[in-house]
Amino acid sequence: MMKVECTRLPSGLTVVTEQMPHLESVALGVWIKSGSRNETLGEHGIAHLLEHMAFKGTGRRTARQIAEEIENVGGEVNAATSTETTSYYARVLKDHVPLAVDILADILTESTFDDEELRREKQVILQEIGAADDTPDDVVFDRFAETAYRNQTVGRPILGTPDTVMSFSADQIRHYLGRNYTTDRMFVVAAGAVEHDAFVRQVEERFSSLPRTPIATPVLEAARYTGGESRETRDLMDAQVLLGFEGKAYHARDFYCSQILANILGGGMSSRLFQEVREHRGLCYSVYAFHWGFSDTGIFGVHAATGGENLPELMPVIVDELRKSSMNIEQQEIERARAQIRAQLLMGQESPAARAGQIARQMMLYGRPIPNEELMERLSGITIERLTDLAGRLFFDTTPTLSAIGPLEQLAPMGDILSSLTGKAAVPHAVAS
Protein backbone atom coordinates (compact mmCIF):
# COMPACT_ATOMS: atom_id res chain seq x y z
CA MET A 1 0.00 0.00 0.00
CA MET A 2 1.51 3.30 -1.09
CA LYS A 3 1.39 6.06 1.52
CA VAL A 4 1.93 9.79 1.15
CA GLU A 5 3.69 11.47 4.09
CA CYS A 6 4.12 15.21 4.50
CA THR A 7 6.37 17.23 6.83
CA ARG A 8 6.65 21.00 7.08
CA LEU A 9 10.09 21.96 8.32
CA PRO A 10 10.64 24.82 10.80
CA SER A 11 12.09 26.79 7.88
CA GLY A 12 8.73 26.65 6.09
CA LEU A 13 9.92 24.19 3.44
CA THR A 14 7.47 21.35 2.74
CA VAL A 15 8.77 17.79 2.23
CA VAL A 16 6.49 15.08 0.81
CA THR A 17 7.21 11.44 0.02
CA GLU A 18 5.38 8.41 -1.28
CA GLN A 19 7.05 5.08 -0.67
CA MET A 20 6.70 2.57 -3.50
CA PRO A 21 8.31 -0.53 -1.93
CA HIS A 22 8.44 -2.59 -5.14
CA LEU A 23 10.91 -0.14 -6.74
CA GLU A 24 14.69 0.19 -6.54
CA SER A 25 14.78 3.81 -7.70
CA VAL A 26 13.61 7.20 -6.45
CA ALA A 27 12.33 10.20 -8.40
CA LEU A 28 12.85 13.38 -6.43
CA GLY A 29 12.79 17.06 -7.06
CA VAL A 30 12.16 20.60 -5.94
CA TRP A 31 9.06 22.33 -7.24
CA ILE A 32 8.74 26.11 -6.96
CA LYS A 33 5.43 27.93 -7.15
CA SER A 34 6.90 30.44 -9.54
CA GLY A 35 7.31 30.53 -13.31
CA SER A 36 7.31 32.90 -16.25
CA ARG A 37 4.15 34.54 -14.96
CA ASN A 38 6.08 35.80 -11.92
CA GLU A 39 8.42 37.89 -14.05
CA THR A 40 8.13 41.67 -14.19
CA LEU A 41 7.55 43.35 -17.53
CA GLY A 42 11.30 43.75 -17.98
CA GLU A 43 12.16 40.16 -17.03
CA HIS A 44 10.64 38.31 -19.97
CA GLY A 45 12.47 34.96 -20.16
CA ILE A 46 14.47 35.26 -16.94
CA ALA A 47 12.69 32.37 -15.17
CA HIS A 48 13.76 30.02 -17.96
CA LEU A 49 17.29 31.47 -18.04
CA LEU A 50 17.63 30.89 -14.30
CA GLU A 51 16.60 27.26 -14.75
CA HIS A 52 19.40 26.85 -17.31
CA MET A 53 21.99 28.70 -15.22
CA ALA A 54 21.34 26.57 -12.13
CA PHE A 55 23.32 23.77 -13.79
CA LYS A 56 26.25 25.95 -14.86
CA GLY A 57 28.36 25.84 -11.75
CA THR A 58 28.18 26.38 -7.98
CA GLY A 59 30.62 27.24 -5.24
CA ARG A 60 31.42 23.52 -4.92
CA ARG A 61 30.96 22.08 -8.42
CA THR A 62 31.63 23.08 -12.01
CA ALA A 63 28.97 22.51 -14.64
CA ARG A 64 30.81 19.37 -15.74
CA GLN A 65 31.04 18.02 -12.21
CA ILE A 66 27.28 18.45 -11.72
CA ALA A 67 26.64 16.31 -14.80
CA GLU A 68 29.36 13.76 -14.07
CA GLU A 69 28.53 13.13 -10.42
CA ILE A 70 24.91 12.24 -11.11
CA GLU A 71 25.71 10.21 -14.22
CA ASN A 72 28.57 8.36 -12.50
CA VAL A 73 25.92 6.56 -10.44
CA GLY A 74 23.59 6.01 -13.40
CA GLY A 75 21.25 8.81 -12.44
CA GLU A 76 19.82 11.74 -14.36
CA VAL A 77 18.98 15.34 -13.50
CA ASN A 78 16.93 17.95 -15.36
CA ALA A 79 14.64 20.93 -14.94
CA ALA A 80 11.60 22.59 -16.50
CA THR A 81 9.94 26.00 -16.48
CA SER A 82 6.22 26.54 -17.03
CA THR A 83 3.88 29.50 -16.74
CA GLU A 84 3.31 29.13 -13.00
CA THR A 85 5.92 26.64 -11.77
CA THR A 86 9.57 25.66 -12.09
CA SER A 87 10.98 22.25 -11.21
CA TYR A 88 14.42 20.71 -10.70
CA TYR A 89 14.37 16.94 -10.51
CA ALA A 90 16.49 13.81 -10.51
CA ARG A 91 16.08 10.05 -10.68
CA VAL A 92 18.56 7.73 -9.01
CA LEU A 93 18.81 4.31 -7.41
CA LYS A 94 17.76 4.35 -3.77
CA ASP A 95 21.33 4.24 -2.43
CA HIS A 96 22.14 7.51 -4.18
CA VAL A 97 19.30 9.67 -2.86
CA PRO A 98 21.67 11.64 -0.56
CA LEU A 99 23.82 12.55 -3.58
CA ALA A 100 20.79 13.73 -5.57
CA VAL A 101 19.55 15.81 -2.63
CA ASP A 102 23.02 17.34 -2.28
CA ILE A 103 23.23 18.26 -5.97
CA LEU A 104 19.73 19.75 -6.08
CA ALA A 105 20.43 21.78 -2.95
CA ASP A 106 23.77 22.89 -4.36
CA ILE A 107 22.36 24.25 -7.60
CA LEU A 108 19.50 26.02 -5.82
CA THR A 109 21.50 27.61 -3.01
CA GLU A 110 25.06 28.06 -4.27
CA SER A 111 24.89 28.76 -8.02
CA THR A 112 27.55 31.28 -9.00
CA PHE A 113 26.03 32.60 -12.26
CA ASP A 114 29.48 32.97 -13.78
CA ASP A 115 29.60 35.66 -16.50
CA GLU A 116 31.24 33.41 -19.10
CA GLU A 117 28.75 30.59 -18.46
CA LEU A 118 25.93 33.15 -18.67
CA ARG A 119 27.18 34.37 -22.03
CA ARG A 120 27.31 30.82 -23.40
CA GLU A 121 23.91 29.87 -22.05
CA LYS A 122 22.30 32.93 -23.58
CA GLN A 123 23.50 31.67 -26.96
CA VAL A 124 21.96 28.26 -26.25
CA ILE A 125 18.61 29.88 -25.47
CA LEU A 126 18.79 32.02 -28.61
CA GLN A 127 19.11 28.77 -30.58
CA GLU A 128 16.16 27.38 -28.64
CA ILE A 129 14.06 30.44 -29.52
CA GLY A 130 15.09 30.11 -33.17
CA ALA A 131 14.15 26.42 -33.23
CA ALA A 132 10.74 27.22 -31.73
CA ASP A 133 10.14 29.94 -34.35
CA ASP A 134 10.89 27.38 -37.06
CA THR A 135 8.27 24.99 -35.67
CA PRO A 136 4.77 26.11 -36.73
CA ASP A 137 2.92 23.98 -34.19
CA ASP A 138 4.96 25.70 -31.44
CA VAL A 139 4.45 29.17 -32.88
CA VAL A 140 0.68 28.77 -33.14
CA PHE A 141 0.41 27.94 -29.42
CA ASP A 142 2.64 30.89 -28.45
CA ARG A 143 0.51 33.26 -30.54
CA PHE A 144 -2.62 31.67 -29.08
CA ALA A 145 -1.60 32.41 -25.49
CA GLU A 146 -0.42 35.93 -26.38
CA THR A 147 -3.76 36.67 -28.04
CA ALA A 148 -5.91 35.16 -25.29
CA TYR A 149 -4.08 37.23 -22.64
CA ARG A 150 -2.92 40.22 -24.60
CA ASN A 151 -0.09 42.28 -23.05
CA GLN A 152 0.12 40.13 -19.92
CA THR A 153 2.88 37.96 -18.47
CA VAL A 154 0.55 34.93 -18.33
CA GLY A 155 0.35 35.00 -22.13
CA ARG A 156 4.04 35.55 -22.93
CA PRO A 157 6.25 32.79 -24.38
CA ILE A 158 8.31 31.21 -21.62
CA LEU A 159 11.59 31.45 -23.56
CA GLY A 160 11.53 35.25 -23.82
CA THR A 161 12.82 37.16 -26.84
CA PRO A 162 16.39 37.45 -28.16
CA ASP A 163 16.56 41.05 -26.93
CA THR A 164 15.33 40.32 -23.41
CA VAL A 165 17.45 37.21 -22.96
CA MET A 166 20.62 38.99 -24.08
CA SER A 167 19.94 41.90 -21.72
CA PHE A 168 19.96 39.98 -18.42
CA SER A 169 22.83 40.24 -15.94
CA ALA A 170 23.79 37.86 -13.16
CA ASP A 171 22.47 40.38 -10.62
CA GLN A 172 19.04 40.42 -12.30
CA ILE A 173 18.92 36.62 -12.12
CA ARG A 174 19.84 36.74 -8.43
CA HIS A 175 17.09 39.30 -7.80
CA TYR A 176 14.47 37.11 -9.49
CA LEU A 177 15.77 34.13 -7.49
CA GLY A 178 15.62 36.00 -4.21
CA ARG A 179 12.12 37.25 -4.91
CA ASN A 180 10.64 33.87 -5.82
CA TYR A 181 12.69 30.94 -4.49
CA THR A 182 11.66 31.09 -0.83
CA THR A 183 10.68 28.22 1.47
CA ASP A 184 6.98 29.13 1.55
CA ARG A 185 6.79 28.57 -2.22
CA MET A 186 8.98 25.45 -2.49
CA PHE A 187 8.15 21.75 -2.18
CA VAL A 188 10.65 18.90 -2.07
CA VAL A 189 8.95 15.68 -3.22
CA ALA A 190 10.19 12.11 -3.63
CA ALA A 191 8.45 8.96 -4.85
CA GLY A 192 9.78 5.42 -5.04
CA ALA A 193 12.12 3.50 -2.73
CA VAL A 194 12.32 6.34 -0.22
CA GLU A 195 12.08 6.36 3.57
CA HIS A 196 10.30 9.51 4.74
CA ASP A 197 12.12 10.35 7.98
CA ALA A 198 15.58 9.80 6.47
CA PHE A 199 14.66 11.91 3.43
CA VAL A 200 13.36 14.72 5.65
CA ARG A 201 16.64 14.78 7.58
CA GLN A 202 18.67 14.95 4.37
CA VAL A 203 16.53 17.80 3.00
CA GLU A 204 16.56 19.73 6.27
CA GLU A 205 20.35 19.56 6.43
CA ARG A 206 21.08 20.53 2.83
CA PHE A 207 18.34 23.11 2.23
CA SER A 208 18.77 24.99 5.50
CA SER A 209 20.20 28.07 3.79
CA LEU A 210 17.11 28.75 1.67
CA PRO A 211 15.57 32.15 2.48
CA ARG A 212 12.22 32.20 4.27
CA THR A 213 11.13 35.62 3.07
CA PRO A 214 11.57 37.22 -0.37
CA ILE A 215 13.90 40.14 -0.95
CA ALA A 216 10.95 41.93 -2.60
CA THR A 217 7.24 41.30 -3.01
CA PRO A 218 6.64 38.46 -5.53
CA VAL A 219 4.89 39.54 -8.73
CA LEU A 220 1.60 38.00 -9.87
CA GLU A 221 -0.64 40.10 -12.08
CA ALA A 222 -4.28 38.97 -12.13
CA ALA A 223 -5.15 37.36 -15.47
CA ARG A 224 -7.58 39.11 -17.81
CA TYR A 225 -8.79 36.99 -20.70
CA THR A 226 -9.12 39.18 -23.81
CA GLY A 227 -9.52 36.89 -26.81
CA GLY A 228 -9.04 38.02 -30.40
CA GLU A 229 -7.16 36.65 -33.37
CA SER A 230 -3.64 36.17 -34.68
CA ARG A 231 -2.97 35.08 -38.26
CA GLU A 232 0.40 34.55 -39.88
CA THR A 233 0.46 33.48 -43.50
CA ARG A 234 3.50 31.34 -44.26
CA ASP A 235 4.44 29.24 -47.26
CA LEU A 236 3.95 25.88 -45.53
CA MET A 237 2.50 22.54 -46.52
CA ASP A 238 -0.09 22.63 -43.72
CA ALA A 239 -2.09 25.13 -41.72
CA GLN A 240 -2.04 25.04 -37.92
CA VAL A 241 -5.26 26.41 -36.42
CA LEU A 242 -6.29 26.95 -32.80
CA LEU A 243 -9.77 28.06 -31.72
CA GLY A 244 -10.16 28.72 -28.02
CA PHE A 245 -12.28 30.20 -25.25
CA GLU A 246 -11.87 31.32 -21.66
CA GLY A 247 -11.71 28.20 -19.49
CA LYS A 248 -11.77 27.51 -15.77
CA ALA A 249 -9.16 27.93 -13.05
CA TYR A 250 -8.00 24.94 -10.99
CA HIS A 251 -10.22 25.88 -8.05
CA ALA A 252 -13.33 26.68 -10.10
CA ARG A 253 -16.37 24.45 -9.69
CA ASP A 254 -16.37 23.62 -13.40
CA PHE A 255 -12.66 22.73 -13.70
CA TYR A 256 -13.16 18.95 -13.77
CA CYS A 257 -16.28 19.37 -15.86
CA SER A 258 -14.14 21.23 -18.41
CA GLN A 259 -11.64 18.36 -18.43
CA ILE A 260 -14.43 15.89 -19.18
CA LEU A 261 -15.86 18.12 -21.92
CA ALA A 262 -12.44 18.43 -23.59
CA ASN A 263 -12.08 14.66 -23.49
CA ILE A 264 -15.51 14.08 -25.05
CA LEU A 265 -14.88 16.60 -27.82
CA GLY A 266 -11.30 15.73 -28.69
CA GLY A 267 -9.55 13.52 -26.16
CA GLY A 268 -8.88 10.45 -28.26
CA MET A 269 -9.73 8.44 -31.37
CA SER A 270 -13.29 7.88 -30.16
CA SER A 271 -13.91 11.59 -29.50
CA ARG A 272 -16.44 13.62 -31.45
CA LEU A 273 -13.95 15.80 -33.31
CA PHE A 274 -11.64 12.93 -34.25
CA GLN A 275 -14.50 10.82 -35.54
CA GLU A 276 -16.33 13.58 -37.43
CA VAL A 277 -13.45 15.73 -38.70
CA ARG A 278 -10.72 13.19 -39.32
CA GLU A 279 -12.36 9.81 -39.75
CA HIS A 280 -15.69 10.67 -41.41
CA ARG A 281 -14.70 13.72 -43.45
CA GLY A 282 -10.90 13.34 -43.76
CA LEU A 283 -10.41 17.08 -43.32
CA CYS A 284 -7.21 17.00 -41.26
CA TYR A 285 -4.49 14.69 -40.02
CA SER A 286 -4.63 15.92 -36.42
CA VAL A 287 -7.44 17.35 -34.29
CA TYR A 288 -7.90 17.42 -30.53
CA ALA A 289 -9.40 19.49 -27.72
CA PHE A 290 -7.68 20.54 -24.49
CA HIS A 291 -8.31 22.47 -21.31
CA TRP A 292 -5.47 24.27 -19.50
CA GLY A 293 -6.01 25.37 -15.92
CA PHE A 294 -4.12 28.14 -14.15
CA SER A 295 -4.46 29.50 -10.63
CA ASP A 296 -7.02 32.15 -11.61
CA THR A 297 -8.05 31.44 -15.20
CA GLY A 298 -8.08 28.76 -17.88
CA ILE A 299 -8.18 28.11 -21.61
CA PHE A 300 -10.39 25.67 -23.54
CA GLY A 301 -9.18 25.06 -27.08
CA VAL A 302 -9.32 22.97 -30.22
CA HIS A 303 -6.21 22.44 -32.35
CA ALA A 304 -6.29 21.18 -35.93
CA ALA A 305 -3.58 20.69 -38.55
CA THR A 306 -4.63 20.44 -42.18
CA GLY A 307 -3.97 21.53 -45.75
CA GLY A 308 -5.03 25.09 -46.52
CA GLU A 309 -7.58 23.90 -49.08
CA ASN A 310 -9.57 22.16 -46.32
CA LEU A 311 -10.04 25.24 -44.16
CA PRO A 312 -13.35 26.42 -45.71
CA GLU A 313 -14.96 23.12 -44.70
CA LEU A 314 -12.96 22.36 -41.57
CA MET A 315 -13.78 25.39 -39.43
CA PRO A 316 -17.58 25.18 -39.79
CA VAL A 317 -17.48 21.47 -38.92
CA ILE A 318 -15.47 22.17 -35.75
CA VAL A 319 -17.82 24.98 -34.75
CA ASP A 320 -20.80 22.72 -35.43
CA GLU A 321 -19.43 20.08 -33.06
CA LEU A 322 -18.96 22.73 -30.36
CA ARG A 323 -22.56 23.85 -30.82
CA LYS A 324 -23.84 20.27 -30.66
CA SER A 325 -22.08 19.72 -27.33
CA SER A 326 -24.18 22.48 -25.79
CA MET A 327 -27.37 20.68 -26.84
CA ASN A 328 -26.67 17.00 -26.37
CA ILE A 329 -24.15 14.76 -24.63
CA GLU A 330 -24.60 11.04 -24.11
CA GLN A 331 -24.11 9.35 -20.74
CA GLN A 332 -21.89 6.79 -22.46
CA GLU A 333 -19.52 9.60 -23.52
CA ILE A 334 -19.24 10.78 -19.92
CA GLU A 335 -18.48 7.26 -18.70
CA ARG A 336 -15.81 6.78 -21.37
CA ALA A 337 -14.15 10.13 -20.56
CA ARG A 338 -14.23 9.33 -16.85
CA ALA A 339 -12.67 5.92 -17.48
CA GLN A 340 -9.92 7.48 -19.59
CA ILE A 341 -9.07 10.06 -16.92
CA ARG A 342 -9.08 7.38 -14.22
CA ALA A 343 -6.77 5.18 -16.30
CA GLN A 344 -4.39 8.08 -16.94
CA LEU A 345 -4.35 8.85 -13.22
CA LEU A 346 -3.61 5.29 -12.15
CA MET A 347 -1.12 4.56 -14.93
CA GLY A 348 0.76 7.72 -14.03
CA GLN A 349 1.09 6.48 -10.46
CA GLU A 350 3.05 3.47 -11.70
CA SER A 351 5.88 5.86 -12.63
CA PRO A 352 7.77 7.42 -9.70
CA ALA A 353 8.65 10.48 -11.77
CA ALA A 354 5.04 11.04 -12.83
CA ARG A 355 3.84 10.43 -9.30
CA ALA A 356 6.30 12.89 -7.76
CA GLY A 357 5.18 15.55 -10.24
CA GLN A 358 1.53 14.82 -9.54
CA ILE A 359 1.99 15.16 -5.78
CA ALA A 360 3.98 18.38 -6.22
CA ARG A 361 1.25 19.95 -8.37
CA GLN A 362 -1.41 19.02 -5.82
CA MET A 363 0.64 20.54 -3.00
CA MET A 364 1.14 23.77 -4.92
CA LEU A 365 -2.50 24.04 -5.99
CA TYR A 366 -4.41 22.65 -3.04
CA GLY A 367 -1.91 22.57 -0.19
CA ARG A 368 -2.30 18.80 0.29
CA PRO A 369 -2.13 15.52 -1.63
CA ILE A 370 -5.50 14.61 -3.14
CA PRO A 371 -6.51 10.94 -2.71
CA ASN A 372 -7.60 9.09 -5.85
CA GLU A 373 -11.00 8.46 -4.30
CA GLU A 374 -11.57 12.19 -3.87
CA LEU A 375 -10.60 12.92 -7.48
CA MET A 376 -12.93 10.24 -8.79
CA GLU A 377 -15.73 11.52 -6.54
CA ARG A 378 -15.39 14.94 -8.12
CA LEU A 379 -15.63 13.36 -11.57
CA SER A 380 -18.62 11.20 -10.58
CA GLY A 381 -20.74 14.28 -9.87
CA ILE A 382 -20.58 15.47 -13.49
CA THR A 383 -23.90 15.11 -15.28
CA ILE A 384 -25.21 15.62 -18.81
CA GLU A 385 -26.95 18.80 -17.68
CA ARG A 386 -23.78 20.27 -16.19
CA LEU A 387 -21.78 19.50 -19.34
CA THR A 388 -24.27 20.97 -21.82
CA ASP A 389 -24.70 24.05 -19.63
CA LEU A 390 -20.93 24.49 -19.41
CA ALA A 391 -20.52 24.09 -23.18
CA GLY A 392 -23.13 26.77 -23.77
CA ARG A 393 -21.35 29.20 -21.46
CA LEU A 394 -17.84 28.39 -22.73
CA PHE A 395 -18.53 28.63 -26.43
CA PHE A 396 -21.18 31.37 -26.61
CA ASP A 397 -20.52 33.74 -23.69
CA THR A 398 -16.84 34.61 -24.21
CA THR A 399 -14.88 36.15 -27.08
CA PRO A 400 -13.11 33.36 -28.98
CA THR A 401 -9.35 33.28 -29.51
CA LEU A 402 -8.18 32.31 -32.99
CA SER A 403 -4.54 31.58 -33.78
CA ALA A 404 -3.45 30.31 -37.18
CA ILE A 405 -0.24 29.94 -39.17
CA GLY A 406 0.41 28.58 -42.66
CA PRO A 407 -1.51 28.87 -45.96
CA LEU A 408 -4.49 30.82 -44.60
CA GLU A 409 -5.96 32.36 -47.74
CA GLN A 410 -9.11 30.26 -47.38
CA LEU A 411 -9.55 30.63 -43.60
CA ALA A 412 -12.87 32.36 -42.89
CA PRO A 413 -12.85 35.86 -41.35
CA MET A 414 -13.27 36.00 -37.58
CA GLY A 415 -16.69 37.60 -38.06
CA ASP A 416 -17.97 34.55 -39.92
CA ILE A 417 -16.67 32.22 -37.21
CA LEU A 418 -18.35 34.35 -34.54
CA SER A 419 -21.59 34.31 -36.49
CA SER A 420 -21.54 30.55 -36.81
CA LEU A 421 -20.94 30.19 -33.06
CA THR A 422 -23.79 32.46 -32.05
CA GLY A 423 -26.12 31.10 -34.71
CA LYS A 424 -26.93 34.58 -36.01
CA ALA A 425 -25.82 33.59 -39.49
CA ALA A 426 -25.35 30.21 -41.10
CA VAL A 427 -21.96 29.17 -42.41
CA PRO A 428 -22.59 26.30 -44.84
CA HIS A 429 -20.24 23.41 -45.16
CA ALA A 430 -20.14 20.59 -47.63
CA VAL A 431 -20.77 17.00 -46.69
CA ALA A 432 -17.95 14.64 -47.57
CA SER A 433 -18.89 12.08 -50.15
pLDDT tens, 21-54?
899 999 999 999 999 999 998 999 999 999 999 9
pLDDT tens digits, 313-354: 999 999 999 999 999 999 999 999 999 999 998 898 899 999
Q: Which member of 39, 51, 84, 246 is catalytic?
A: 51
Q: What is the percent of the chain where pLDDT is above 70?
A: 97
Confidence of residue 2 (pLDDT cuts 50, 70, 90): low
Structural domains present in the chain? 3-206 (3.30.830.10), 228-422 (3.30.830.10)
The pLDDT assigned to 348 comes to 86
Going from the C-alpha of 111 to that of each of 59, 103, 187, 212, the distances in angstroms are 7, 11, 19, 18
pLDDT tens digits, 46-104: 999 999 999 999 999 999 999 999 999 999 999 999 999 999 999 999 999 999 999 99
Nearest-angstrom CA–CA distance, 357 and 293:
16
Length of the chain counted residue by residue: 433
| Spatial contact of 159 and 129, defined as CB atoms under 8 Å apart | yes
How are beta strands 186-192 and 14-19 bridged, if at all? parallel
Mean pLDDT of the chain: 93
Closest C-alpha to 104, from 21, 13, 3: 13
| Spatial contact of 156 and 141, defined as CB atoms under 8 Å apart | no
pLDDT tens digits, 273-309: 999 999 999 999 999 999 999 999 999 999 999 999 9
pLDDT tens digits, 394-414: 998 888 999 999 999 999 998
Reported pTM: 0.92
How are beta strands 3-8 and 14-19 bridged, if at all? antiparallel
Whether 350 is catalytic: no
Asked if pLDDT for residue 429 goes beyond 60, the answer is no
